[in-house]
Each structure stands twice: as structure tokens, then as C-alpha cells.
Structure 1
Amino acid sequence: MGIANIISMIARPVHGSYLCFEIGGILNTCDVYLGDTVKAVPYDRLTDLVKASGTTIGDPSRLAGDTNGVLSIVQPFSVASLRNEDRKASLDSAVNSRQNIYFSKHANADSVISTIRGSYDKGSPASNPNLLDRLSDLANQQLVELDEAYRTDDRTGVVKSTTSSAESATKGRGGSNRASKFHQESVGVRVGRGTRLPHVLPLPWEGHPDHIWNGYKSTRFTAPSTTDTAVTTGVNYEESNNYSNTSGMQSTTHVDYEYRTPYIEAHARALRAQISLTNQQFEAYMFSQNIPYLEKIFANELESVDNDVYQLQIALLRSFLISPIEGVVTGVYKGPGEAVNAGEPVIRVEDNSLVHLLANLVHVGPIPIGATATLTTMLAGAGNPTTSLDGTVVSVRGQDSGTRWEVIIRVDNVDAGGLHVLPLGYVFDPEYTDISIA
């Protein structure tokens, strides 16, 4: 190893990225310009920040990562964005639904879990499994009693006709009583004022054989003035009685085109009921398997809802473009309003802190990977200060019988003052550059 002659050599940033969206759409904003420096933000860091945002302080029902929450995380690092109103609406709807689910079930999880255990734990006398067992017993008892009744009445065969009968009876009674007796007296054309009429009171009414009557209490009329007067007074009695009694009986026989088998139908109903009860008992049994783990099941359900929301949060993140490396914007290929395809470059970012020197060298003998390369050069030609750089050979490909080599040398391109030594894409002048391999 020793001095190598340079045929050509150019500096390329080790870290460079053509930024593109995972999805297609219309570019909404481009937030950087050529020459701007951008921060490095690994994508998984953003997703971790979104997932770790959790719920709002003091309100476990509400996720902090709604549209505004996600934007507050991603916008400080965004270099471009697509139109994304539909994704915002979907995310906010999911966050609202998650809050409703929390209120309906998880806000009072302890009480809900206690109620479920009381309803489905076999240890509770009033639980559904025990009630289903009792219902099954009643269904069996009903079938036994119906079977016995059908057999006792010898009605286990086909019924071709049915008979119905009705009997009615009506009774009525009524009566009324009325008594009357009259006495009339006519007087002359004139009577003196204060005359009492009639002159003779009527006798008391003798009454009815079946009743006791005191008769009519007679009164007299005192004439108010001299006038013509006629007086009628008396009592009356009248009695009537009504009696009625009606009864009847009706019988109807029905013959249909379809015959019935009540005995068999009763057994069929019982079997269907047992099948339904068996299904319900199995469902209750399967549900009861969750009883010991309800707390964990509730936690898993809420976490699943949160993961569904998280997928929509990630979908919103995909509409923003961030840079995975810190560097300088060296290319902008799209402007707001232009269509962008998934994977199509929008912005190029390059980090010139660490560079690869891509060199064609003439060197006698092999150049091992890992060898140290020291170069001295006058940047921009003669008359400029000499610059020295040390690097490591990271790639070697031989040419022309072992004297020509394609070499890649990795070089730290930051000086003691934190400035870049070599410009982006710097092409070395072989006349003013020397390199040694050790």
C-alpha cells in the first residue's frame, strides 16, 4: 500500500433521501424550499407519540389523539401534506364513537361486571343458566301432563272435526206501585177572600190489600181574593209486575279440509322448545366461561377500540411528509395542487455530514476494505489552502490487472467548528489532490 493516483473522485452524501408519500393524492402544502434545513424524525417516533398520547387529562373517556391532537404532533416536522379532510372526519368520528362506548360500558365497569356475574354465574340462584334449567323442567312437566290428558281421553289420533257448544240463561224481574184518590169541589162564581177550599176534606184512601197506606194528607186552598175557584185533591195507587226467564244452548261442529293431530303437535312443540332451550343453555354456558376474566375482557375490548382509532390516526399521518434524516433540501419536485402518486419523489433531502468519496484510482497492489485513506487537496484549485481529510475504505472493485480500482471511502465531513468541509457533490481536481492508502 502507498500513494494512489486519482483518475476521478466525487463526494456524495452518505445519507440522502427522496421523500415520497405512501399514498397518492393532491399536494396540499409544501412547507420547505431549496436550501432549507430539516430535522430528522423517524416515522416510528411519530407513531409512538400518537399512540402514547392516551386520553385527555381528567377525562378517561376522550382520546387526546383526535385530529387536533395528531396535527399538534406531526405539523412541527411536516415538510409537505396531501389534502386529507376525509381522513380528519373519519378520525374524529371514531374518537367520538370510542367516547360513547366508554360512557355506555366502561365508565361503570365494576357495576356492569357485577351485574353480568349475577345474571350468568351458576352460583347465583336467579342467573340465566339456572332459570333456563327451571324452564326446561317446566317444559318437560307440561309435556308429561298433556300426554297423560290426551291418552286418558283417547285423543292420540287424527282429529277430523271439532265441536263447540255454548249455553246461556237470562232472568228478569220488575214491578211498580201507584195509588190515587181524587176529590173535586166546584164553588160559585165568587168566594170571599180567605175562604178555605174545598169545604170538605176527602177521606183517607182505604189502601191496597197487600200494602198499608195512610192515605193522602188533605189540605185546603185559601182563596187569595174574591174569585172563581175550582179545587181538586186526592191520592192514587197503581201496581204492575213484570217477570222474564230465558235460557238456550247452541252446539257447532267444524269440519276443515286439513285434519289435526293435537297429540303429535304437542310433542313437536315440546321438542322445538327443548331445542331452543338447549341452544340458549349452550350460549349461556359459553358466556359463563368469560365470568372469571371479565376485567381483562373489558380492558381488551377498550384496547381494541383504541387500536381501531389508532389505525385512523396512522392513516392521517400518511398524508404528511416527514424526513427520516436531518439535512438540506436539495430538490423540490412538486407544488401545491399537483397530483402525487404513491412512491413518487416530492422532495430530496441530503445530509452532507458524512460523505462517500467515489474514486477511480491507480494503485499498485490490492487495497483492502477497512484501510485508512488520507487525502490532501486544494479546494477549488491552486492558490487555496490545503485541506486534509482521513477516511476509511468501505468498498473496492478491481480493474485492469490489479492496478485500477473503483474505491469508496467514507469520510467525516464536519470540521472542528461544526462546518461542512466538502460541498455537496464536490468533484475533486486530480491535479491538486493526493491520496495515500495505509
Structure 2
Amino acid sequence: MATGKSVNLRVRPVMSADLSFPVDGVISRQSPVMLGSRVEGLDVEVLYAMLGQTVEGDSSRLLWDSKRIFSYLFNVAGQAAGHGVTLLSRLRSASEAADLDRAVMMRQNAYLTSYSPEVLSEVRRVYYEDPSDEWAVRHRLLKAVEDDAGLIHHGLTDAYRRRGWSNKVIEETTSISDNKATQYSGAGNIQFEGFTDTKSGGYEFRHPSGENDLRYHQSRAAVRQEFLNAWRMSEMCRYGDTTFSNEIGAIDRSIRKLQSAYIDTFLFTPTGGIVTGVFHGQGDYVRAGEPVFRVEDDGTVYLVGTVKYRGMLRIGTMLEVSTTLFEAAGAAPITVAGEIVAVRGHDSVSEQWDLLMICDNRTAAGDVILPLNYNFDFESTSVEVTAP
């Protein structure tokens, strides 16, 4: 099998990213010496999957408040502080942190007062578990309230009718006083009698029968609404395994949005690599999607370009590329092996191939073999097919 030559083969990273914030903001914290630093990757989907966790031994309190999220993002892998931590940059986020922590605290209150097993047990007892209870809210209790309201209404209506006040506006008040007194003097006595009839006006008129009707109708409407509320609560209890878990779940999902909004104020890379570009620094205002860092992974690379080779090259063909870096005199050649993942014939030249080859760029000791963006020299580079 013939040996090939590199025409313009060069090294490109398989994984690279221009990192940006998904929201606008001002960079509040960022190391000024990040360029050239090796950083670790963070799989944010793992963090998203943990956001609903509660504190161990306390189901009322969500674990992932702003402090916990910051701690995780700052050093998820337990590395020493400094270069290599997962957190690259962060925006001012006091407002987002306050909104998140407030929601976490209110969720705890809601759980303790409405959704804990103890509370739900009592709610079921009152509204659902014993429907034969004659004083159950849904049955006799509200009916008794309505009966009492009717009793008061009809009693007052009869009294107003006897007084002639039915559908009558009262324009003045009347008070009657009948006084009798007897004075004893010796064997006789003197008796005094007095009668006072007082009428008063000059104030807001009253319509007692109309006011009685109004109170009665308002009471009936209120009782109907209370009955509907009690019925709804009993139905909530009937399907409690679904309804109450849905309600606390809805609260948790609204908090998840706040957690995600807080996470969006941090910048991290999905894969490890080298910081090869820094476009903004601490104090800069950045817009959503505007690149702040470029990170390139040099662990696995593509060799991409044109190779001169007399023979057939296909996807899946294994190659070994040997070269002397920078054509240094006396330097030992290095060899990298990889697989062709894309190939096609070069235009108008039958012995040349445009290809893309993926290969591991680490030695057994973990050292980098080829620098990123390195261009292979035609004279000092050879290409061998090791497997079809």
C-alpha cells in the first residue's frame, strides 16, 4: 500500500464553543487571567434534574436555593479554587436570587400549612372521609346556616307586618313613656300618672323590611358560595392523590423557572477545554448571545484538509499520520491514529482526497500531542492506511 502525503492537513477541535449568557446583564465577577486556562465542563442537564430535591429530612424545604446553586456551579467537581473551576463568569443577580429565595420560603409555608401529610389528613377528615356525619360542612352545617338565616328573615318580616312597616320607609322614630308614681302620706296616698310621646327626625331614613330582605338574600348567596367551595374541596379530597400533588407540583415548577433564570446569570462550558478567546471582562455590559469566551477541547481533534494518496479512501478507513512538528531538526517524529469520518475526491486531481479524520490527541500520560490549528508540512508528514 502506498504512503500518502499531507497537502494542507490541519488540526481542528471536535468540541468548541463561543460561550455567551442567555440574558442581558453586567458582568460582576470574572478572573482577568482566564486566557489559556484549562476549564472543566459542566452538564447543566444534571443540575436541572436535581432542582426539585428537598432538604434531607424536611420535605417542606427545597434544597436548591440561590446559595446552593452558586456553590454547585462554582466548583461542581470539588476542585481547588482558581483556574480550572467550572464557573467562568457571572452577572449581577441579586434580584434573581431574592426572587428565588422568597419563592422557596413561601413554598415551605404553603407546604406546612396546606400540603403536609398532617394537614391533608385533617382536610380529608373534615370534607370527605365521613360523608354521613350530619355536621359535615358539605351537608348539614351549611344547611343549618341557611335555615337560621331564613328563620331570622321570616321572623322579622312578620314583626314588620304587624307594625305596618312592610315595604315602608321609616322617616322618624317614636318613643312612648308611661310613668306612674304613688306617694304615701299618713293614712292616705297621692298617685301621680304621666305619659310622654316623643318623635324624632332629621336623620337618614330607614327601610327595615327592605334591609331585612337584602341581608337574607346576601346570606343565601354567601351560603351557596360556601356550599360550592365545600363541594369543590370534597372533590379535591376524593382525588387527593392527584389534585394536591398537582398543586404543590405547580408551585415547584414556578420555582423551577426562577431557579433556571438564576442559573442563566452564570457562564460555564458544557465541555472541558482551553480558553482560547476572551471578549468581555468584569464590569462590561453584555447582551444575550454575545460571546464572552471561546473554549476549545484539545483532547479529541479533527485532522481536516487534503491528502495525496494513491489508493481508495472510505469512511471508516483507519489512518496513521506521522510528522515532525515544526520541521525541527533532529526532533523525533510523532504519530497520531484515527478514523476517516468524511471523505470525497478532490476536484480534478485523481490522487488527492478531501477528508476529515477524528483522532485522540492525548498520550498515555495525558499530554497533548498536536496543538490546535497546527498545519502539517508536506515534506515532513506521511499518511499510512492501517485498516480498510
TM-score, normalization by structure 2: 0.77
Q: Tell me the equivalent position of 1:42.
A: 43
SS at structure 1 position matched to 2:379 = helix
Using the aligned pairs only, state the percent identity.
Answer: 29
Q: Tell me the equivalent position of 2:313.
A: 367
* CA offset digits 1:195-228 (Å, max 9, x no partner): xxxxxxxxxxxxxxx6xxxxxxxxxxxxxxxxxx
Q: What do you get for the CA RMSD once the two structures are aligned?
A: 4.0
Q: Tell me the equivalent position of 2:142.
A: 132
Q: Tell me the equivalent position of 1:12.
A: 12
Query: Cα distance 1:85–1:261, how it changes in 2: closer, same or farther (>3 A)?
Result: closer
Distance in 2 between the 1:50 and 1:119 partners? 34
* CA offset digits 1:181-205 (Å, max 9, x no partner): xxxxxxxxxxxxxxxxxxxxxxxxx
Query: Is 1:427 the counterpart of 2:379 in the alignment?
Result: no
SS at structure 2 position matched to 1:418 = coil
Query: Is 1:383 the counterpart of 2:330 in the alignment?
Result: yes
* CA offset digits 1:285-332 (Å, max 9, x no partner): 222112234466555444443433333222222211111111122222
Distance in 2 between the 1:291 and 1:49 partners? 30
SS at structure 1 position matched to 2:302 = strand
SS at structure 1 position matched to 2:292 = strand
Conserved 8 A contact 2:338-2:359: yes
After superposition, where does 1:242-321 map in structure 2 within 5 Å?
243-248=190-195, 274-294=220-240, 297-321=243-267
How far apart are residue 432 of structure 1 and its match? Answer: 1.1
Q: Mark the structure with the bigger radius of gyration.
A: 1
Query: Is 1:407 the counterpart of 2:355 in the alignment?
Result: yes
Conserved 8 A contact 1:325-1:351: yes
How far apart are residue 412 of structure 1 and its match? Answer: 1.5
How far apart are residue 142 of structure 1 and its match? Answer: 7.4
After superposition, where does 1:29-428 map in structure 2 within 5 Å?
29-31=29-31, 33-52=34-53, 54-55=54-55, 59-76=58-75, 77-106=86-115, 109-111=117-119, 113-114=121-122, 117-118=125-126, 122-129=131-138, 130-137=140-147, 168-175=177-184, 243-248=190-195, 274-294=220-240, 297-363=243-309, 367-381=313-327, 382-401=329-348, 403=350, 404-428=352-376
Distance in 2 between the 1:431 and 1:43 partners? 46
Which residue identity is paired with 2:363? D
Which residue identity is paired with 1:397? R
Structure whose residues are more often strand by fraction: 1
Conserved 8 A contact 1:119-1:126: no
Conserved 8 A contact 1:375-1:435: yes
Distance in 2 between the 1:16 and 1:134 partners? 74
- Tell which deviates more after alignment, 427-436 or 393-402: 393-402
Conserved 8 A contact 1:50-1:73: no
Conserved 8 A contact 2:2-2:311: no
Query: Cα distance 1:18–1:251, how it changes in 2: closer, same or farther (>3 A)?
Result: closer
Which residue identity is paired with 1:132? L
Unpaired runs of 5+ residues, structure 1, are 178-209, 211-240
Distance in 2 between the 1:104 and 1:315 partners? 27
Distance in 2 between the 1:425 and 1:89 partners? 45
TM-score, normalization by structure 1: 0.69
* CA offset digits 1:379-423 (Å, max 9, x no partner): 221532222222111112334246243211111212222222111
Distance in 2 between the 1:312 and 1:158 partners? 59
Which residue identity is paired with 1:174? Q
* CA offset digits 1:107-143 (Å, max 9, x no partner): 6x42564256325663322222222223445566778
- Tell which deviates more after alignment, 401-410 or 427-436: 401-410
How far apart are residue 50 of structure 1 and its match? Answer: 4.3
Aligned residue pairs total 367
Query: Cα distance 1:299–1:244, how it changes in 2: closer, same or farther (>3 A)?
Result: same
Distance in 1 between the 2:212 and 2:103 partners? 52
- Tell which deviates more after alignment, 417-426 or 126-135: 126-135
- Tell which deviates more after alignment, 347-356 or 397-406: 397-406
Conserved 8 A contact 1:364-1:402: no
Query: Cα distance 1:162–1:338, how it changes in 2: closer, same or farther (>3 A)?
Result: closer
